Structure 1
Amino acid sequence: MLLTALLLLLHLLAAAFWVGGMALMQWAVRPAAAQTLEPPERLRFMAATLGRFLNGVRVAIVVLLASGVGMVLLGGGPGGMHWGVHAMVALGLVMIGLYGHLRRTPFAQLERAVAAGDWSAAAQRLPVIRRLVNVNLALGVAVFAAAVLGPAL
């Protein structure tokens, strides 16, 4: 019982970090940077901030996967899980795939462009990243909804 509760705590903390961090980036950090920083500084700031956040998300994904598998195994395996758990797993795997794509392609391109001082190329990556983060944020909210509402439906 205590092990399951600890796994759930880790799972919730990791999910809150990821989903909450995306909301913070979209609704606070990005608009504030656009409002207060000139393009070169803004692009350097966003690349550095996103890099730190994405590193944290990498850790959160490991925690989510490990704690999720642990809870499923302690709960009797996937066959005994409520449909909401299966929905969380499916949505979470899509989120991880989008994270991997974001990390390997548009974010890597942003980092290279910022390092080269190519501000035009760097600026073109931010809307792509923003769209991917918006999709993942919506999926993350759906995961929370499946977790909370699934057992009631």
Structure 2
Amino acid sequence: MISLAISLHALSSVIWVGGMFFAYLVLRPSIATQLDSPQQLSLWSTVFAKFFPWVWVCAVLLLGTGFWLIFNKFGGMKYVAPYVHLMMSMGIIMVLIFMHIFFAPTRKLKRAVTEQNWEGAAKSLGQIRLLIAINLIIGLSVIVIATAGRYMVG
């Protein structure tokens, strides 16, 4: 059961952080050079509608498997190393940022695209872009902490 939890935990982080990396560093600049603003905004609305359900699954799996491992493999919070506490805290922050993205600017983006309010849609996309950049930096940092943490502590 532990190997399944660790595998699901790792796969969830790869899907979520890898998806953000691809979207931010590959898809975003490609779209910007190929499509006009209304097409870009419509495409982003569609991309988020397809990607965010996967992020929900990953967030639930990351938190669920993380807490399960802490309590079932290590015996509880007081027995895990400080880097695990840091990793868990950063993961929770990422989930909270994602929830804000999902429930606020993404809904505004979808509504603005439907209404062809391109100025409003662009404003919402700008908010989403900034928050995803923050989450990407946190996510990459968590991966470094998760893989190197035990070697960085005494």
Q: Determine if the TM-score, normalized by the shorter chain, exceeds 0.5.
A: yes
Q: Using the alignment, how far apart are the partners of 1:82 and 1:6 within structure 2? A: 22
Segments of 5+ residues of structure 2 without an aligned counterpart are: none
Segments of 5+ residues of structure 1 without an aligned counterpart are: none
Shift of 1:124: 1.6
1:5 counterpart residue number: 3
Match of 1:20 among 12, 18, 21: 18
The alignment-based identity, stated in percent, is 32
- What is the CA RMSD across the aligned residues, in angstroms? 1.0
Shift of 1:50: 1.3
2:88 counterpart residue number: 89
- 1:2-25: CA deviation from partner (whole Å, max 9, x where unpaired): x11110000000011111110001
Pairing 1:2-151 to 2, within 5 Å after superposition: 3-75=1-73, 76-151=75-150
Q: Runs (4+) of structure 1 moved beyond 6 Å?
A: none
- 1:23-63: CA deviation from partner (whole Å, max 9, x where unpaired): 00101111111111122221111111012111110010111
- Length, aligned pairs only: 151
Q: Using the alignment, how far apart are the partners of 2:67 and 2:110 within structure 1? A: 33
Amino acid across the alignment from 1:105: A
Shift of 1:147: 0.9
Q: Using the alignment, how far apart are the partners of 2:63 and 2:119 within structure 1? A: 37
- 1:65-115: CA deviation from partner (whole Å, max 9, x where unpaired): 111121112221111111111111100111111001111111111011001
